[in-house]
A and B are shown apart, each in its own frame.
Chain A
């Protein structure tokens, strides 16, 4: 798919005090593209996602450089300027979503409210909710529950369903399937690809499982110690890694000694 990039990052850097914890020299994501960020724990992956979505304002973080989402500059933008982008245009699926959901509202109501706020008519909202919950393998009966009343994996699927419902054009997801069992994980990965291909959604996905990355990503960014050490098409990076750290990542990928029940 072609068209203007959904995301265009130049010289992004995030620092706490005098420590720079995450830098991305350049990154563009086109509609329909899935970009994966992999790398060591503490290398700055989550920080990069937060900065890209403009979620570090009002924290101790110092953000520099430029991040354009659908043409709007995010770095230094006020919360008011970002509001039109949030939800329906860009969405974040957090590393552990449970804590970030409003605890006083049932999941169904959270969905309906978000859709209403984005001007989706009630009848269409119901159809979208039904589609999205089915796509992430979430039993609709769970929408009657409060966030703390569902399991870790159910909360994670809810967070994905929320982003999907709103039809976000840029979806940033931090380890979106880490709490899912393998059978559900595969379905969610298929959903990521499908939304990219059919709706042109652009995805920025932090993941640590390189096998998983190979199944969905077009482009891969490898981070270490706050820096991008390798970046390129998934085929190239994973099949012929240039950087020693990428090779170590591939070598350390856990596999089952036998093929199991395959």
Chain B
């Protein structure tokens, strides 16, 4: 089987800054949805940008249905751009500031092949699906709140009729009641339209609800991956464990002053060394990721 998108040995570099290295992943509706979680600055957005052709791989390849996206032209390129749709961290960036909500959706529907008499009804349906007041249709992005913009960006992506949604923090600016409804919407389109997600998120709860596989990034490397259940319920890498344990809880305690870990990653060996409670001399050698529920760690938790 050729996957819809196959990432192989991908590295992303900005100047001499290596943002992501040696990353491989198959994305296909048949394989379910994938969560990408990890440290701020670990390379998650860089991965999304590479999948969408917004940044060129420094190494490795990204193939759409078996063909390198770097060489896609004409109809094949349009297919890739239609079937893989982004929803970015900040809705503002993804939306044309001069277009009204309605005009943005109309354009997206046209790209997806819908024109003519059915367009207005479909626009109404899309707005309803992301719980936006139809009266907002005449507004431009700067006249919307952060959460409203984020929902327009989701509606726009859906309008094109994608098979894979690449979502970068899609609900980070939404209050929890709307968030819950957007999650339900994403669950619904997964089930009824077979659309799969590559979901970049800081929310462990969101990854848990919406995805089948989870990849954890730290400092540009994949440090753990497996089924979402395994990774989130039985984390093996010390960073993953700390990430899950740090999720705020009602009346939870804050870390004591002076316990802040070093901000910079180690420059050789395991990058997590400077913060890891389990670090020892072995960790001077970069640990490799192997196995089905793998962890790039010399002393995994389990």
> Which residues on A are within 8 Å of B, measured CB to CB?
16, 38-43, 46-47, 95-96, 98-99, 133-135, 137-141, 149-154, 156-157, 174-175, 178-187, 189-190, 193-194, 208-212, 214-216, 238, 248-249, 252-258, 260-262
Contact = CB atoms under 8 A, between A and B. Distances in A.
Contact of B204 (A38, A135, A260): A260
Contacts of A179: 40, 89, 169, 172, 202
Nearest to B241: A261
Lowest 3 A-B CB distances belong to which pairs? Answer: A153-B40, A41-B147, A254-B205
Contact of B250 (A95, A138, A208, A214): A214
Contact of A41 (B173, B203, B247, B253): B173
A39 B176 CA distance: 9
A41 B202 contact: no
B264 interface: yes
Given A211-B252, A215-B252, A39 B204 contact: no
A98 to B, nearest CB: 7
Interface residues of B, number: 66
B134 to A, nearest CB: 14
Contacts of A209: 176, 248
Given A41-B147, A256-B204, A261 B245 contact: yes
Contacts of B232: 256, 260
Contacts of A42: 144-145, 147-148
A262 B245 contact: yes
Contacts of B38: 181
B192 interface: no
B72 interface: no
A252 B254 contact: no
Contact of A39 (B175, B208, B252, B265): B175
A153 B41 contact: yes
Contact of B176 (A149, A180, A210): A210
Interface string B166-185: 00010011111111100100
Contact of B202 (A182, A211, A238, A261): A182
Contacts of A258: 233
Given A99-B90, A252-B179, 10 more contacts: A43-B175, A46-B145, A137-B263, A139-B265, A185-B202, A189-B248, A211-B248, A253-B176, A254-B205, A261-B244
Contacts of A261: 234-235, 240-241, 244-245, 301
B249 interface: yes
A186 B242 CA distance: 11
Nearest to B200: A152
A31 B169 CA distance: 34
A254 B180 contact: yes
B94 to A, nearest CB: 12
Contacts of A183: 39, 239, 242-243, 246
A141 B264 contact: yes
Interface in B198-252: 202-206, 208-209, 232-235, 239-252
B33 interface: no
Contacts of A38: 175
